[in-house]
Amino acid sequence: MQTMFKEITTDQKQPISNPFANLRLKETKTKGRRKAIPPEMIQRILTPGAMGKLNVEARDVMLICLNTGCRPSEVCGVLPEHIHLKDDTSHFDLVEEGRELKSGASIRKVVLLGVAPEAIIPIESRPIMH
């Protein structure tokens, strides 16, 4: 507010004292970065049957998140044209097409490792396993 008021009064050549000059917002301490998920918890999630109550789509989103570090909302919003499984390195592009990402840093290429390449294939496009 201070800066905006100053810019307007300077631009308008109005010598008005800035009523916001001595106002300050209360400073808050930042909590810092979140801690990584402990490997034991990931192992517990990946134990056979641990995700048995999830439908296939939810399980796939969880597996992709665990393998890539992406947020579930990022994975759910990936469009088929942004998935590149036939490139030298399987990946998908996180872009702001049809949605808004949390921040500019969220726009990136995400490498698909482990079970993530299979999990990201739409269910109707997967080969039938017998």
Answer yes or no: are the C-beta atoms of 78 and 120 closer than 8 Å: yes
Q: 112 in helix, strand or coil?
A: coil
Write the CA distances from 57 to 8, 22, 25, 33, 78, integer angstroms.
Answer: 53, 54, 44, 29, 13
Dihedral pair phi/psi, residue 75, rounded to 5°: -65, -45
State how beta strands 108-111 and 83-84 pair. Answer: unpaired
Distance CA 94, CA 120 (A): 13
Per-residue model confidence as pLDDT tens for the chain (130 residues): 777 777 788 777 777 887 777 777 666 555 666 777 788 988 888 888 888 888 989 999 998 998 898 889 889 888 888 899 988 889 998 887 777 777 777 788 999 988 888 899 876 666 655 4
Largest CA distance in the chain: 81
Q: Looking at residue 17, what is its pLDDT?
A: 81
State how beta strands 91-94 and 108-111 pair. Answer: antiparallel
